[in-house]
Amino acid sequence: MANLKEIRNRITSVKNTRKITSAMSRIAAARLVKAQQAAMGARPYGERLDQVVGSLVASLGSGEGEGEAGEAGAAHPLLLKRSGNGRVVIVHITADRGLAGGFNANLNRAVGNFIRKEREAGNDVVLLTVGKKGRSFFQHSGQRLVRHHDAPTLGDLVVKAKMVAAEVMAMFTGGKEGGDTELPQVDRVYFAYNYFKNVLTQQPKIEVLLPFESREVVNDERVLPVLEPGRDALLGHLLPIAVESRLQQAFFNSIAGEIAARRTAMDSASDNATQLIRELTLFYNRERQAAITKELMEIIGGAEALKG
C-alpha cells in the first residue's frame, strides 16, 4: 500500500508543474498574437517580391525581351547552376529554446533525413544553424557546422536575415577558405524551417535558396513591363533583396511557429497535469478511507476481545 504522505507529495509536485506549464501557455498566448500578425503582415511583401523577381527570371529563360538573355554569360551569378565540388549548405532554422512540442525535433529529423539523402547522392553537406536547438542536435553527430546564429527575434530579424543572406551568397559565389571566417564554396544552398500554416500546424519545409528559382507559376500572357534600368541591372539589384526576403519570411514563420507550438504543447501539458491530479486525489482519498476503516476495525476488534 502506497504511503499517504508519498501520494500527497506527488500531488503537490504535479500541481507545481501545472502552475509552470499554464504560465508558459499564457505567456505564449500573449506573444502569439503579435508574432502571428507580424508573420501575416510580412507575407504580401514577400509574395509580391517573389512574383516580380520570378517573372523577371522566367523572362530571362524564355529569351524574350532585350539583350542576349539566352546566353549563359548574361545570367546573374546567383542564377547559375553550379556543378563544382558537389557541396551543399543547409540553413537550418530552429528555436533557441525547447518545451515546444515537436517543433524542433520534427525539423531536426527532416533535416537529418535530407542530409542522408544528399550524402547517398554523393554530395558533401555543411550546415549553417540559426537557433541553438538545431546546433545542439547536430553538434555531436560529426556534422560539419560552418556558422551559427542564435534564433532571431521580431526586433533583430531584418538585420539577421541580411547577415545570413550575405554569408550564403558569399559561399555560393565563391567562398572564402582559411582563416577563422572560413566559408566553404558550395553548389547549392537550401533552407529548412517550420512553415506556420496555422496555430495548430507547423510544417517542416526544406527549400532551395540558391541558385535562385522562381516559385510561382508565371503567367505567360503577362506583358513584360518596361524596365528601367535594363533587366540585368534590375536583377542585380533585386536578386539579393529577394534572397534576403525569403530568409526573412522563413524567420517570421519560425518565430510564430515556435510560439504557437509552445502554446499548444503547454496547453496539453496543463490538461494532462489536471487529469493526473484528479486521479491521484481519488487514489489518495480511497487510501485514506481504507486506513481509517482498518484502524476502526482494530479498535472494535480490541474492544470485543476485552468484553469477551
C-alpha grid cell, residue 70: 539566352
Residue length of the chain? 308
Instruction: Report 246-285 residues binding another protein (CB under 8 A).
Output: 248
C-alpha distance from residue 158 to each of 24, 39, 129, 189, 272 (Å) = 27, 13, 17, 20, 38
Helix (H, G, I), strand (E, B) or coil at 26: helix
Residue 230 contacts another protein per CB under 8 A: no
Among 14, 49, 210, 265, binds another protein (CB under 8 A): 49
Supply the minimum distance, in Å, between the C-beta of residue 90 and another protein.
Answer: 23
Residue 214 contacts another protein per CB under 8 A: no
Supply the minimum distance, in Å, between the C-beta of residue 7 and another protein.
Answer: 53
Residue 217 contacts another protein per CB under 8 A: no
Among 44, 73, 142, 178, binds another protein (CB under 8 A): 44
Q: Which of 195, 191, 207, 190 is nearest to 254 (CA)?
A: 195
Residue 79 contacts another protein per CB under 8 A: no
Residue 46 contacts another protein per CB under 8 A: yes
Residue identified by cell 520534427 is: 106
Among 30, 33, 158, 292, binds another protein (CB under 8 A): 158
* Interacting span for another protein (CB under 8 A) from 66-74, 85-93, 227-235, 283-291: 227-235
Residues 6+ apart with CB under 8 A from 65: 59, 224, 231
C-alpha dihedral sign at 232, 238, 243, 249: negative
Residue 225 contacts another protein per CB under 8 A: yes
Eight-state DSSP code of residue 301: H
Residue 45 contacts another protein per CB under 8 A: yes
Residue 229 contacts another protein per CB under 8 A: yes
Residue 35 contacts another protein per CB under 8 A: no
Q: List the alpha helices (DSSP H) in 63-199.
A: 103-120, 132-139, 157-172
* Interacting span for another protein (CB under 8 A) from 117-125, 170-178, 218-226, 262-270: 218-226
For the chain, first and last CA: distance in Å?
Answer: 32
Q: Which of 240, 251, 244, 152 is nearest to 196 (CA)?
A: 251
Residues 161-200 as x/- pattern, contact with another protein by CB under 8 A: ----------------------------------------
Residue 241 contacts another protein per CB under 8 A: yes
Q: Which of 288, 215, 295, 298 is nearest to 249 (CA)?
A: 215
Among 245, 254, 264, 270, binds another protein (CB under 8 A): 245
C-alpha distance from residue 299 to each of 285, 287, 296 (Å) = 21, 19, 5
Cβ nearer to another protein, comparing 11 with 227 = 227
Dihedral Cα 290, 294, 295, 296, nearest 10 deg: 100
Q: Residues in the site for another protein, rule: CB under 8 A?
A: 37-38, 41-42, 44-46, 48-49, 52, 56, 158, 222-229, 234, 237-238, 241, 245, 248
